[in-house]
Amino acid sequence: MFPERVLSGMRPTGALHLGHYHGVLKNWVRLQSEYPCLFFVADWHALTTHYDDPSIIESSTHEMVIDWLAAGLDPAQATIFVQSQVIEHAELFLLLGMSAPLGWLERVPTYKEQIEKLKEKDLSTYGFLGYPLLQAADILIYRAEHVPVGEDQVPHLEMTREIARRFNYLYGREKGFEEKAQEAVKKLGSKLAKQYLELRNRFQEQGEEEAIEQAHALLDESKNLTLADRERLFGYLEGSRKIILVEPQALLTKDSRMPGLDGQKMSKSYGNTIAMREDAESITKKIRTMPTDPARVRKTDAGDPEKCPVWAFHQIYSDAPTCAWVQDSCKNAKIGCLECKQPVIESVLREQQPLLERAQTYVDDPSLVRSIIADGSEKARKMAQETMRDVREVMGLG
């Protein structure tokens, strides 16, 4: 009934680093050729924690979109936009808020955690409590089925599904739904109707997800249904309600474990990052001063790559012969650490080259970025408006 959309967002935090590139962006780039994708800058979400310091949001948004384009996101394939440019997100957020139980928001694990963690900020605000509800609106407004995110976002996705279910429960009730659905079944023709009812039974009695998928395919193929009847039959499969908002699933990006310069996970808060578009000189210096196995005080001291963050970089950036060379030379004290780091420096710089080239066009002409965002936001708005028409109608605002 709805196209199988992928959606994800990122708060504007300024220049992205190699952890974002390997952990998130490469995955987005792959997805853009497999599904209709929407990727957006969650600038309102940034304000939930940075409401006292909005000055960086605009420049961070711009730089971040350049990093996306540098990584290979293609505005001809994916819809790239900015949350605050699609005002409909705010409308859905408001309307979902009418029935969202406070307890659900308070119980989201990140809520209390973040308040604890960011002690220097006052996060006992309405906006911060609403963070996951705004995220739910971001997702539900496009009826997105897949949301590529990291492990930390799973509770938000769970709550989004609960919000969708509750919405459909409250507003998907239609007078005489059961009868209208049964009428619609007949319109399928006797053969398809029989198949449809069998699949419905299999799902309702055995909970077989596969049966639902087959039934969806069957409905997609059937030609003589009105849009309203089709929606009824989708809803009738799962219960006795119309499906207005679609329940999304997290598409877990497996932790790429891009290590930082100190061996911990690469993260801005640890100060151990290499920016995607950092200049060569600075990258070289950072890698040359990386800590190594502390046992290797002198070149003649044997080391253990397992105790060295440089080895973690080799595992990402070096081929098998180079890795074997590192193992042997380190354990047998055949080389100095600077020599060991040299191929890493070269690979990081080599891999960065195409990113820099792609970014250059946008650095030279910032208006290109602005028009990509404007076009993407326009496209996103059209999709969002379709959902909002249905939402308003069932909430008595038609």
CA 370 to chain centre: 22
Size of the site for ligand TRP (CB under 6 A): 13
Which CB atom, from 80 or from 233, has the smaller least distance to ligand TRP?
80
Q: Which position has the token pair 């070096």? A: 318
> Least distance to ligand SF4 from the beta carbon of 21, Å?
23
> Least distance to ligand SF4 from the beta carbon of 287, Å?
10
The residue type of 98 is M
- Phi, psi values for residue 76, rounded to 5°: -80, -20
User: To 5 degrees, how large is the angle CA 183–CA 186–CA 189?
Assistant: 155
Site membership for ligand TRP, residue 20 (CB under 6 A): no
In 3D space, the residue among 101, 97, 161 whose CA is nearest the CA of residue 127 turns out to be 97
Site membership for ligand TRP, residue 48 (CB under 6 A): no
In 3D space, the residue among 216, 107, 211 whose CA is nearest the CA of residue 162 turns out to be 107
Taking CB within 5 to 8 Å according to partner kind, which of ligand TRP, ligand SF4, none is near residue 135?
A: ligand TRP
Site membership for ligand TRP, residue 135 (CB under 6 A): yes
Q: Which residues pair with 10 in a beta bridge?
A: 41
**Long-range pairs of 46-53 with CB within 8 A, sequence gap ≥ 24:** 46/11, 46/12, 46/13, 47/127, 48/125, 48/127, 48/128, 48/130, 48/131, 48/134, 49/114, 49/118, 49/121, 49/123, 49/128, 51/125, 51/127, 52/121
> Least distance to ligand SF4 from the beta carbon of 351, Å?
19
Yes or no: say if 29 and 287 are a contact pair by the CB < 8 Å rule.
no
> Least distance to ligand SF4 from the beta carbon of 332, Å?
10
* Window of 1-9, 292-300, 303-311, 362-370 that interacts with ligand TRP by CB under 6 A: 1-9
Taking CB atoms, the residue at the shortest distance from ligand TRP is: 9
> Least distance to ligand SF4 from the beta carbon of 331, Å?
8
Q: Which residues pair with 149 in a beta bridge?
A: 252
Which CB atom, from 77 or from 110, has the smaller least distance to ligand TRP?
110
> Least distance to ligand TRP from the beta carbon of 295, Å?
38
Site membership for ligand TRP, residue 9 (CB under 6 A): yes
What does each C-alpha distance from 368 to 65, 69, 76, 129 come to in angstroms? Answer: 11, 11, 13, 36
Which CB atom, from 11 or from 277, has the smaller least distance to ligand TRP?
11
Q: Pick one of 149, 181, 290, 326: the residue that binds ligand TRP (CB under 6 A).
A: 149
The residue type of 120 is E
Rounded Cα gap, residues 33 and 331, in angstroms: 44
> Least distance to ligand SF4 from the beta carbon of 319, Å?
16
* Window of 6-14, 201-209, 260-268, 306-314 that interacts with ligand TRP by CB under 6 A: 6-14
SS3 315: helix
Question: In which element (H, E) is residue 82 found?
Answer: strand 79-82
Which CB atom, from 33 or from 332, has the smaller least distance to ligand SF4?
332
Site membership for ligand TRP, residue 139 (CB under 6 A): yes
Q: Where does this chain bind ligand SF4 (CB under 6 A)? A: 292-293, 296, 303, 305, 308, 310-311, 326, 330, 335, 337, 340-341
Residues 213-272 touching ligand TRP, rule: CB under 6 A, are none
Which CB atom, from 135 or from 272, has the smaller least distance to ligand TRP?
135
Which CB atom, from 104 or from 325, has the smaller least distance to ligand SF4?
325
Q: Is 186 exposed, middle or buried (0-12, 13-18, 19+ CB in 10 A)?
A: exposed
Which CB atom, from 9 or from 305, has the smaller least distance to ligand TRP?
9
Q: Pick one of 63, 67, 91, 138: the residue that binds ligand TRP (CB under 6 A).
A: 138
List of residues contacting ligand TRP (CB under 6 A): 7-11, 42, 45, 135, 138-139, 147, 149, 153
